[in-house]
Amino acid sequence: MREIVLDTETTGFEPGEGDRIVEIGAVELYNHMPTGKVYHQYINPERSMPQGAFEVHGLGDEFLRDKPVFKKVGQAFLDFVGDAKLVIHNAAFDMKFLNAELGWGGFRLLPDDQALDTLAIARKKFPGSPASLDALCRRFGIDNSAREKHGALLDSEILAEVYLELIGGRQPDLVLSASSGSGASGQAVEAWRPMPRPEPLPPRITEEERAAHQAFVDKLGDAALWKAQA
């Protein structure tokens, strides 16, 4: 199963008010394991950067001036994503911007059900607890010390680790809930015990080896340990 953990940085909060994407970062997972393949692209938003957004991600007008506009990179982004599930923290925000940019560029849009929202997963799993990316890093002991400012690729790499913890680790299908004491049906799960063999295994020592051992024990006299246990 192929999944893409994705994050964006923008000039603000509303594409309908002229805000644009300035960075996309994405990490590929296959069967819940990172493959090493990533997508990372800075984008010229064709507008000035508001001070508030600059303080969040540090991407300013001068840095972005020579970067490609979204229309030049939109197809490469779609080719990387394909039909993989998109794992996004607060998916509605990023999907809103991605589909706005894709629509303006004349590209196909991403269906909403292609996205999996880790914010919703975290809130369901830990109701009432903080569910920001930083809060989840603290909960799971994930190192996010390099996250001085938001960055799409760094945040997607961190989110990939958070996502794997949210679903039960790197092998979620093998995780058994020790705390619940019940299976999917709600019935108690008994501790696994090995079944007795229908027939005992045949002995692996030969008659010669058995006779040699008996001769050795006889030489030790009546105080031999094996005779005391007989």
- Average pLDDT for the chain: 86
32, 89, 150, 213: which is the annotated catalytic residue? 150
Query: Comparing 173 with 132, which gets the higher pLDDT?
Result: 132
Is 55 annotated in a binding site? The answer is no
Which residues constitute the domain of residue 117?
2-172
Is 186 part of any domain? no
Instruction: State yes or no: pLDDT of 81 exceeds 70.
Output: yes
pLDDT tens figures, 99-121: 999 999 999 999 999 999 999 99
Is 113 annotated in a binding site? The answer is no
∠ CA 46-99-146 to the nearest 5 degrees?
70
Is 204 part of any domain? no
The pTM (predicted TM-score) of the whole model is: 0.73
Residue 147, both tokens: 């996250």
With bands split at pLDDT 50, 70 and 90, how would you rate the model's confidence at 36?
very high
**Residue that the structure tokens 């229908």 belong to:** 198
- Is 89 among the catalytic positions? no
Partners of 226 in beta bridges:
none
Domain at 147, CATH number: 3.30.420.10
Number of structural domains (the chain) is 1
Is 82 part of any domain? yes
Q: Where are the alpha helices (DSSP H) in 9-132?
A: 51-57, 61-64, 70-81, 91-104, 118-125
Is 12 part of any domain? yes
Is 32 annotated in a binding site? The answer is no
